[in-house]
Amino acid sequence: MTNRKRKIAFIVEQCPIKGLYPFERAIILSKLLNEESVFMFVKTNDSTVLKSFEGSGITPVLFEKYEQLVKTIRNLELDLIVQDGKDSLVEQMELLRPFCKTIVHFDDFGNGNVLADCNILALFEELGSGELLPPNTLAGSYAFAVNDKLQTVAVERNSMAENDPPHIVIAFEDGDEHNLTYRTLRHLTQLQIPLKISVAIDDEYKHPVSDLQMMLLSRRNTKIIKHTDALYEALATADIIVCNNNYTPYKVAAIGIPCITLAQQEREIAHAFARELNGFIHLGLGRKIKQSAIQNAVMELLLHEHRRDRAIRKQQSLEILTNNEILQALLLDFAYGRHLAQL
């Protein structure tokens, strides 16, 4: 009986401020657990989300309401549920709990997270003096699952020569609600020094690309990269990244690139990973940042080689590229009930 495959269900509900990454993480983790019996349940109306499953070998089962989902999973005899995406509600947890002994959440800030056996945070916040994490919470950079594209870029950069002029990449993922892409590009084009600037635009970008193109008409060494994998293409040759403060800094740290972050909304301000301790310059809420703040941060990195080297060392010391091994072992412990033996 102990050798039987464990039944593991991923439940991912779309959350606009977290972008597509929760679905990507679920795909990565489900592949790591492919020796078990894995089910994928998805709540979304977004065709871009469904497109992300193409070529993954995973067929998601769509659902609209949790009452409907429960009817599907009640007879599966699940060993583990892994939830990601939208913050959970107590009512949803109460529906699921009778049908699975162990429930694990990722980056859940909803009121239902207290009913999970474990809430694993990559988007963790700074703790105040004497403040402790809730007892069911694990937090750390290891909570970011790494896709194959990042592994490939890391190998490619090992043989990269220095850029002349320096290459700055602007990459605001997750929809870029306040168009920090446009704001940052406008500020950086005012710098009177030789630069190469690439603007990475993915499928979630919500604003007219023509506005960016108009700004670039008279600019040399400046281009827009627009496709699903635009960020990965740009990461391969970037000297400095300017990005949002959600999951993107983890992708940067996996490679090791000096990085400046701006929060897209108030919630991103609290995310504590992209700080000096881990090799980042965090400027705060993007829509309130002055031109001089972005320009000064870029110039600090360009003018001081030791500052760039320190950022890279701090990021690479996190060993983000080894995260998948940690997450695989952790979820298997939960699926096989080994966490219960330690209580």
How many CA atoms lie less than 13 Å away from 161 in the CB half-sphere? 3
Mapping DSSP to helix (H, G, I), strand (E, B) and coil, where does residue 87 land? coil
User: Do the two domains 7-139 and 148-319 of this chain adopt the same fold?
Assistant: yes
Closest CA relative to residue 218, chosen from 191, 180, 189: 189
Give the DSSP letter string of 93-109.
Answer: HHHHGGGBS-EEEES--
Amino acid identity at 10: F
Sheet strands (E) in the chain:
7-13, 37-43, 61-62, 80-85, 103-106, 118-121, 137-139, 167-171, 196-201, 222-226, 240-244, 259-263, 280-285
User: What percent of the chain is predicted at pLDDT more than 70?
Assistant: 97
Residue 41 β-bridge partners: 11, 61
Q: What local confidence, expressed as pLDDT, does residue 1 receive?
A: 47
Q: What's the CA gap between 47 and 60, in Å, rounded? A: 13
Q: How high is the mean pLDDT of the chain?
A: 93
Q: Which of 314, 251, 333 is nearest to 80 (CA)?
A: 333
Mean pLDDT of 42-59: 90
Query: What distances in angstroms separate CA 334 from CA 66, 227, 245, one per listed residue?
Result: 23, 37, 30
Answer yes or no: is pLDDT of 343 > 60. no
Please tell me the least confidently modeled range out of 52-61, 124-133, 302-311. 124-133
In terms of CATH, what superfamily is 148-319?
Glycogen Phosphorylase B; (3.40.50.2000)
Q: What is the pLDDT of residue 219?
A: 82
Higher pLDDT, 27 or 17: 27
Choose among 36, 39, 250: nearest CA to 143. Answer: 250
Domain ranges across the chain: 7-139, 148-319
With a threshold of 0.75, does the pTM exceed it? yes
pLDDT surpasses 80 at 295: yes
Which of the four pLDDT bands, split at 50, 70 and 90, describes residue 342? low
Q: Which of 121-135, 211-225, 229-243 has the lowest mean pLDDT?
A: 121-135
DSSP, residue by residue, 108-132: --SGGGGGSSEEEESS-BPPPTT--
CATH topology of domain 7-139: Rossmann fold (3.40.50)
Whole-angstrom distance, CA of residue 171 vs CA of residue 181: 7
Work out the average pLDDT over 63-92.
96
pLDDT of residue 55: 86
What per-residue confidence (pLDDT) applies to 164?
A: 84
User: What would the two tokens of residue 33 be?
Assistant: 């657990």
- Per the DSSP assignment, residues forming a β-bridge with 168 are 197, 240
Residue 138, CB-side half-sphere exposure with 13 Å CA sphere: 15
The three-point CA angle 265-283-309 to 5° equals 130
Q: How far apart are CA 172 and CA 189, in angstroms?
A: 17
- Which stretch of 55-69, 157-171, 271-285, 313-327 has the lowest confidence by average pLDDT? 157-171
